[in-house]
Amino acid sequence: MTLLTGDHLTERSATLRGLVDEIDPRARILLAVLYAVVVVSLSSLHALTGAMVASLTLLALSPMPAGRTLRRMVAVDGFIVAMLVMLPFSVPGDAMFTLWGLTASWQGLWQAVEIALTANAVVLALMVLVGSLEPVTLGHALHALKCPESLVHLMMFTIRYIEVLRDEYARLRTSMKVRGFRPRSTWHTYRSYGYLVGMMLVRALERSERILVAMKCRGFQGRIILLEEFRLSPRDVVFALVVIGVCAALVGLEAVYGAA
């Protein structure tokens, strides 16, 4: 008889939680696109609820901290809250209640719920499958999927130097504060912000020229040599079949309950 101790259970739980990270990045990108397309095409509440459960299951199988990830989801929802609040009052249908002369409809409420479920299911799945990839690994995977090299290079350089630009902005802001700058609703403030943006553009251009010269000194000829190779494993195939099966099940739920 096998004795299951706390260490065994912890090790097994850690193995399950790292399952998504061990999947081939190419498969993760393709499956994320497939899943997003399927979820966006759903309209029934049953199918969308199933999609949300599937996305939460993906989160449980990944090493991403659930609390921090869900807090990031709340930040994403902040962009669509206003639209969700307005939908019940803008979609005609059966009256639910009246507020200040505006009638909220049940149809509008259901549309708001559908949009919220769709957005959260898709964004959560993309965060788990694609968002957890390292930028360099993501670039290599896109290159392996025959994406245009220029697009891959642009993405990799953008991800790399966004942080550099942020540091440059922080230094300029600090220098402004040292000189006694305090933002107000005055022309001086607007002009100072204009100078700030202009200096960032000038410094970014100068830095890009230095980087290009350094890359040419290292033999850069417009093409980055990617040394990382990907190989599909049986685990990747099983994971892909499971995700495809989930997508098929969601389509089946949509066919059953969407026509009802």
pLDDT tens figures, 232-244 = 888 888 888 999 9
Taking the C-alpha atoms of residue 111 and residue 48, their distance in angstroms, rounded to an integer, is: 12
Dihedral (Cα; 229, 233, 238, 240), 10-degree rounding: 10
CA angle 243, 245, 248 (to 5 degrees): 115
Assess whether pLDDT exceeds 70 at residue 16: no
Q: Residue 251: which of 186, 233, 243 has the closest Cα?
A: 243
Cβ-in-10-Å burial (0-12, 13-18, 19+) of 91 comes to middle
pLDDT band at residue 85, thresholds of 50, 70 and 90? confident
Q: Residue 211 corresponds to which tokens in the numbers above?
A: 């980087």
Q: How much is the mean pLDDT over the chain?
A: 79
> Residues 122, 32: contact at Cβ < 8 Å?
no
> Residues 62, 21: contact at Cβ < 8 Å?
yes
Q: Residue 63: which of 129, 159, 138 has the closest Cα?
A: 129
pLDDT, tens digit, for every residue of 151-163?
Answer: 888 887 887 788 8
Assess whether pLDDT exceeds 60 at residue 228: yes
Which residue type occupies 230? F
Assess whether pLDDT exceeds 50 at residue 7: no
Q: What is the mean pLDDT of residues 4-31?
A: 61
Q: What is the mean pLDDT of residues 213-230?
A: 75
Taking the C-alpha atoms of residue 87 and residue 186, their distance in angstroms, rounded to an integer, is: 38
Q: What is the mean pLDDT of residues 44-63?
A: 86
